[in-house]
Structure 1
Amino acid sequence: MRDAVRVILEEMGEDPAREGLQKTPERVARALLFLTQGLKRPLDDAIGDALFTSDNDEIVVVRNIEFYSLCEHHMLPIIGHVDIGYLPNGKVLGLSKLARIVDLYARRLQIQENMTREIAEAVQSVTGARGVAVQVRAAHMCMAMRGVEKVESETITSMMLGAFRNHPQTRQEFLQLIGQGRK
């Protein structure tokens, strides 16, 4: 990977031997491996033993889980927030594990639409919930830094499974909960 970065620098017209770039190939390689570490991690790593028996049958919501990803088309940053809600079915997941699930899928070359679905399906498969709702809001640097150069644009995607898909009232409750206090 380091050699590939050197070639990229040369093709850009840079001198990889100049002082400021001498260690750049190694730094870029380490950064890319970190930013894509979700590719090599199984879902069980994110969950551990944090699935607990519970009588709760009301919506559990964790909102504003920040994430950083790389778009698979340009390898430029996607920066945003994820809101997750689920209706427990005898089991609840440790709250921090929802953030770990987000990181697992964000830390790979990705498109937002797929990441949204993958997070929802992961929460569903781990918890056996009666329903799962995921909303992702993000800024895409491939739209802001190049191309159309729309810095203020935000992309919103959602995935509703089970009761959140089949019952408009449940979906509406989730949307109200994640919207509370937002400007």
Structure 2
Amino acid sequence: MAMTIGEAQAVMQVLRWITGNWDKPDWRIPSPEQARTDAMWLADRASKVLGAGLNAGDVAEHWPDMPPAEHVAHLKERVAELGHLDAGIKSITTADGTIDMDLSLAHDLMRIFVASFVEILDAADAPNFVELMFKLAGTDDRYTVTIRRPHGETPGEVLGRTRRNLEFVEQAIEAWQDGADPGDTLRAIRDQLAGKTPGEGAP
């Protein structure tokens, strides 16, 4: 059964409304109501021929409030408006089980982000760090997030630094026993414990 002129015109009206393709002078811009009516009519005729599918009532119930093309344009505008809030993860590195993320956040958002962490540290009167425990909803899984001050150290970092210092001192003593200069040995130990590179600050 061939498509009638009326059906063809209705299809074109609906397609013009959906796509926003109204740029030719001889094309009449359908109103939202007209496009909806045409779509309901087409659905009714199609469902009668097929004996199944959407009918006029289904189309009326789910008809969008604006053409898809306008939805897309609106979303693009919103994306442009919110561009200054763009955030993302530049890189993620792991070392000794610690995750180090390089975040890219907008300036205003970053100030709020950092200020909230500083407030947590201050409220807890924490000179070095605090640990926050999170539970994953619907599970018993718990995750710990560490927030520390710029130069703060966690107990694990203090322990690691102490072990490195102890190893260095033991090696320095062995070198001194093997004939190394006592003065050089003591200066090297002093610099290691002060966190300096050997020879740093020397004239």
TM-score, structure 2 normalization: 0.19
More helix by share: 2
More strand by share: 1
